[in-house]
Copies of this chain bind each other. A is one copy, B any other.
Amino acid sequence: MYSDATSFCTHLSVDELDLLSDGSKPVSLSRGDTLDNRELETWPILAISSGVIGMQHLLEDGRKTIAAFFMQGDIIDLREMQSHHRGQLIALKNAGVCRLAPQIFRQITASNPAAQNVIWSNLRQQTYRAMDHSADLAKKHALEKLASFIFECRNRQVMSFAKNIVVIPVRRVDLAEYLGMQPETVSRCFKDLEARGIIELQSISNIRVVQIPTLRRIANGDRYANGLVDDNDKGFKVLHFG
């Protein structure tokens, strides 16, 4: 499993890898599998080697939300997760993860500053990402959220064939749960971007971004790029909205 090395593992010595394989537990997950919270208490740390894991929250009446996506290289550290925190981890795509025991993890991070740095940095990235995502959800319109998401995918995808090809790694439903909208709305927004020539849907999961600057401006909430302006007035007049 270490052939598919995460950036974390590439910083480990042979001894540490040995140590890790003793105090760790590789698991492979199919789409829809959830990670048992009970077992997470003894193996609270996960390193994702492939696939996509989502942190899913359920509301009483069945509404679902995916609060975050975890992908290759992410370390999920659930120690001290508050009891009032109501998320569960679910595989959104067949995934390979490695569960780590806390003491081994602590041992390695204490002795290997490089590995520790990678983990810290990853955790900070997760924090920034979650906050950016909060900002997207709070005040952006559906189209803007989708535009933001396309950039998020672009930033995260490891090897991009071409810079303007973006792979959507999850189903429409999951995307909708992540962006706080309905699958129908997601679909309509994709169509809208396509109709305006900003993106091309090469397949269900591959999109080609034709007009990157325009998409950027939509993502940033620019009403002009967003198509909300009055077109008979040179483009700086705003229709509705204040």
Contacts and interface: CB of A to CB of B under 8 A. Distances in A.
Q: How many copies does the complex hold?
A: 2
A57 to B, nearest CB: 4
A221 B121 contact: no
B133 A59 contact: no
Contacts of A57: 132, 135
Nearest to A125: B80
Find the residue from A79, A137, A178 having the highest chain B CB count within 10 A.
A137
Contact of A123 (B127, B137, B151): B127
A128 B85 contact: yes
Interface residues of A, number: 53
Interface in A40-72: 55, 57, 59-61, 63-68
Contact of A135 (B82, B87, B127, B217): B87
Contacts of A59: 139-140, 144, 220-222
B220 A151 contact: no
Nearest to A222: B60
A221 B131 contact: no
A112 interface: no
Interface string A99-118: 00000000000100100000
B221 A134 contact: no
A220 to B, nearest CB: 5
Given A60-B223, A86-B132, A137-B137, 7 more contacts: A64-B139, A67-B131, A82-B125, A130-B131, A130-B134, A133-B134, A137-B138
Lowest 5 A-B CB distances belong to which pairs?
Answer: A59-B221, A138-B180, A130-B130, A57-B135, A137-B137
